[in-house]
Amino acid sequence: MKKILFVAALSLGSLTAFAQEGEEVTQEVTTEVAVAQDDFTAIEINDLPEAVSTAVATDHASASIKTASVNKEEQYKLEVTLEDGTEATLYADKEGNWIELE
């Protein structure tokens, strides 16, 4: 009877080890996807479309643009510094409309 309990406990331990390995693989794939989504290329602030610059001046008057980047869909990522010293990231399309990207 002791042998049966020992074999059952050993089997349960083996199944738990395989389940933990599966979780690690899932986490690695998630990390790769997050990195692939940030496909922006840095540009000069002077190269921003006028509509984007105007949108920042109008909707976030106290913000100053620290860096600017663009992706192949012509969406702009703006790192801005607010008047109180905090920093934020804003996203806009080429027409100056605010968009949300994850």
> What are 18-60's pLDDT values in tens digits?
444 555 545 444 333 333 356 999 999 999 999 999 999 999 9
Residue 72 has pLDDT above 90, yes or no: yes
pTM: 0.62
Q: What 8-state DSSP symbol labels residue 48? A: S
- Inter-residue contact 78 to 89 (CB < 8 Å): yes
Q: What is the pLDDT of residue 101?
A: 82
Mean pLDDT over each residue of the chain, to the nearest integer = 77
Residue 91 has pLDDT above 80, yes or no: yes
Residues 6+ positions from 82 with CB-CB distance below 8 Å: 60, 62, 63, 88
